[in-house]
Amino acid sequence: MNKEKLVIFLPSLCLIVVLVFIPLLMLAQKSLSVDGTISFANYLELFGDSTFKKALKNTFSISFFVVFATLLIGLPTAYFISRTQGRLKNVLLLLTLFPLLTNAVVRSISWMIILGYDGILSRLMSDLGLIDEPISLMYSKLAVIIGSTYIFLPLMIVSLIGVMDNISQEIEDASISLGASRLQTFFNVIIPNSMAGIIVGVVLVFTATLTAYTTPNILGGTRTVVLATLVQQYGTTLGRWELVSSISIFLFALTVVVITLINKSASLVGGRNEEK
Amino acid sequence: MKKSKVLTIFVCLVFFYLLFPLFITVVASFNSKDILTYPIDGFSLKWYKSAFSSSYISGFAISFQVGVVATIISLCFGVPVAYGLAKYKSKFTRAIKNVFFSPVLIPGIVLSYSLFLGWVFIAKEFDTRLPKLLVLMLAHIIVLFPYTIRVIGGAFEKFDFTIEDAAESLGATKKDFILHILLPSITPAIISASVLSFITSFNDIPISIFLYGRGSTPLPIIMMQDVEKYGDPSVAAVSVVLLFMTIGITYLIEKTLGLNNYGR
């Protein structure tokens, strides 16, 4: 190893080791120790904890729903934007990216107004005669799903546009001139050719929802707990610090496993190869 | 090209879904009563007065400082690494690339808690309480680092490294090469990495959750706490101010770099 490489890489390696690896090892060590001896007691307690089980279930079901919803909404939208040209395309891209640049609190406040007691949705439903009394959807699982879908939709759209831009118009025209309908073309030509972007989008949105803290905290509160909010609630609010370390390690491991699994299954299907 | 009507209507609805909530926040910030509702009961500007109250202003100052410092330091670490990863392509660099991207895999709140443990450890073993502001900055550097490498790395991928040998054989020193050839050729990437990093740091909440202290609470956390406690329209007013700041930044990105370079 020459001197230049050392000068280039060593400072940053030290940075990562000191600020990421060592703290993570301390976290792992803390999660495995009870009164100074090594023990799995914290994990056993965690897996028997009913709130944890609920949070785990919530986290997974919310993440699945959000991935599904963002794909459902994102695919046609990204296709539309990729097939738009000139100024309009820039405007649409700008409008898609803009929400990504504002913080999650700003973006969640409006959902409190929409989903809260006697809020916009409640009034709309009573106008339609669906409900008799004002209701609140806040702190429900549905609220977290709606809010997270809203927050992560731009991420999905941006990932999809990247690949859809590269699908040439000629392939589409060929499909249509051979007698396929627009819908058939979309499902049999556009979607298979967008697989790389779909996988990137799914990984991004799934892991983002899996580890999201702000939106579930504001819209789910203590009633719809997910793993990330449980870390904070068991820590700063309830003082059950012995469990905080094990939940943290669990959440970290879960993220790594999920990313690896999606990428592995993707390369099996033949979607994404090595990074370009 | 022709597009089906159904698709056009669908996309209009999607953009309504993306933008209507922001519109609601803007309207709600002008309410005369102290509740967050839509439509509002009467018009008032008083929440903008409280938006510029001391707690929000100091939160803004903290977030701004942390954002600027973390952006600059992550650039100082990230630029050489991005250069090295593009220049030397070997098994070794591919392996350490994973090390440098590892922070992406760690949920923000987990990283926050592990750094908090580090802070506690130093307080116990060395009897030194590190300033919370410093720890916040360190945490944000870690979060920004992979983004910086990715954006800057994109520019170095297109860089022709034979220029380096040419410059050397013509008598340029390493310093000349870096200052007059290397850095100027990646200036656009440095600008976009800086903007992206600053916004990411300024908006991030999970990474700060276990690390802020009294007098060093970032703005988004102050806003979140206010939303949890009560929800008067002053938070909406702060949001509107931030929205305009974001519009300004977006406009700048569009003017200087073009949006197509952003977020890819």
Helix (H, G, I), strand (E, B) or coil at A271: coil
- For residue A159, give the nearest of A90, A94, A97, A84 by alpha carbon: A97
Q: What is the pLDDT of residue A133?
A: 85
Lowest-pLDDT range of A244-258, B107-121, B166-180, B185-199: B166-180
More confident residue, B141 or B185: B141
Q: In Å, how far from its chain's centre is CA A39? A: 33
Cβ A114–B24 below 8 Å, yes or no?
yes
A104 touches chain B (CB under 8 A): yes
Please say whether the beta carbons of A41 and B137 come within 8 A: no
Provide the terminal-to-terminal Cα distance of chain A, rounded to the nearest Å: 27
Beta strands in A8-119 (DSSP E): 33-34, 37-38
Asked whether the predicted pLDDT for residue B1 surpasses 50, the reply is no
Please, which residues bridge with residue A38 across strands? Answer: A33
- For residue A190, give the nearest of A208, A166, A214, A212 by alpha carbon: A166
Average confidence (pLDDT) over B207-223: 92
Distance CA A95, CA B15 (A): 8
| Chain segment A119-166, per-residue pLDDT in tens | 888 888 888 988 888 888 889 999 999 999 999 999 999 999 989 988
Distance CA B122, CA B119 (A): 5
More confident residue, A265 or A71: A71
Q: By CB neighbour count within 10 A (0-12 exposed, 13-18 middle, 19+ buried), where does B248 fall?
A: exposed
Q: Which of residues 69-98 of B touch A (CB under 8 A)?
A: 77-78, 80-81, 83-84, 88, 92, 96
Residue A37 has phi, psi (to 5 degrees) of -115, 155
Flag whether B243 is in a domain.
no
Name residues whose C-beta falls within 8 Å of residue A100's C-beta, 6 or more positions apart in sequence. A154, A155, A158, B263
Residue A107 is classified by DSSP as H
Tokens of B207: 């990474």
Q: What is the pLDDT of residue B258?
A: 63
Q: Which CATH number covers residue B169?
A: 1.10.3720.10
Number of domains in chain B: 1
Degrees to nearest 5, angle at CA B182 with B180 and B187: 95
Average confidence (pLDDT) over A5-31: 91
Cβ B250–A98 below 8 Å, yes or no?
yes
Q: The domain containing residue B138 runs over which residues?
A: 60-230
Flag whether B259 is in a domain.
no
More confident residue, B247 or B109: B109
Asked whether the predicted pLDDT for residue A92 surpasses 60, the reply is yes
Q: pLDDT confidence of A209, banded at 50, 70, 90?
A: very high
| % residues pLDDT > 70 (chain A) | 97
Tokens of B147: 């983004």
Average confidence (pLDDT) over B152-180: 84
Please say whether the beta carbons of B148 and B197 come within 8 A: yes
Provide the shortest C-alpha distance from residue B115 to chain A (in Å): 6
Q: pLDDT confidence of A212, banded at 50, 70, 90?
A: very high
Tokens of B243: 């929205």
Asked whether the predicted pLDDT for residue B223 surpasses 60, the reply is yes
Asked whether the predicted pLDDT for residue A25 surpasses 90, the reply is yes
Q: What is the pLDDT of residue A270?
A: 57
Mean pLDDT of chain B: 87
Q: pLDDT confidence of B36, banded at 50, 70, 90?
A: confident
CATH 1.10.3720.10 fits A49-269, yes or no: yes
Residue A102 has phi, psi (to 5 degrees) of -105, 155
More confident residue, A92 or B1: A92
Q: What is the pLDDT of residue A240?
A: 83
Asked whether the predicted pLDDT for residue A272 surpasses 90, the reply is no
Lowest-pLDDT range of A40-49, A78-87, B191-200, B255-264: B255-264
A220 touches chain B (CB under 8 A): no
Distance CA A121, CA A134 (A): 10
Mean pLDDT of chain A: 88
A271 touches chain B (CB under 8 A): no
Q: Which of residues 10-49 of A touch B (CB under 8 A)?
A: 11-13, 15-16, 19-20, 22-24, 26-27, 30
| Chain segment B113-165, per-residue pLDDT in tens | 999 999 999 998 998 888 999 999 999 999 999 999 988 988 888 888 888 88
Q: What is the DSSP string of chain B?
A: ----HHHHHHHHHHHHHHHHHHHHHHHHTTBSSSS--SS-SSB--HHHHHHTSHHHHHHHHHHHHHHHHHHHHHHHHHHHHHHHHHH--SHHHHHHHHHHHGGGGS-HHHHHHHHHHHHHHHHHHS-----HHHHHHHHHHHHHHHHHHHHHHHHHHT--THHHHHHHHTT--HHHIIIIIIHHHTHHHHHHHHHHHHHHHHH--GGGTTT--TT---HHHHHHHHHHH---THHHHHHHHHHHHHHHHHHHHHHHT-GGGTT-
Q: pLDDT confidence of A54, banded at 50, 70, 90?
A: very high
Q: What is the pLDDT of residue A254?
A: 93
Asked whether the predicted pLDDT for residue A224 surpasses 70, the reply is yes
Tokens of A272: 């994404």
Q: Which residue in the set A16, A83, A109 is minimally distant from B239, CB to CB?
A: A109
Q: What is the pLDDT of residue B3?
A: 63
Cβ A27–B3 below 8 Å, yes or no?
no
Domain boundaries, chain A: 49-269
CA distances from B178 to A55, B77, B153 (A): 51, 15, 16
Q: What is the pLDDT of residue B264?
A: 41
pTM: 0.90
| Chain segment A106-123, per-residue pLDDT in tens | 888 889 889 988 888 888
Q: What is the pLDDT of residue B260?
A: 54
Pairing of strands A37-38, A33-34: antiparallel
Q: What is the pLDDT of residue A184?
A: 87
Name residues whose C-beta falls within 8 Å of residue B124's C-beta, 6 or more positions apart in sequence. none
A269 touches chain B (CB under 8 A): no
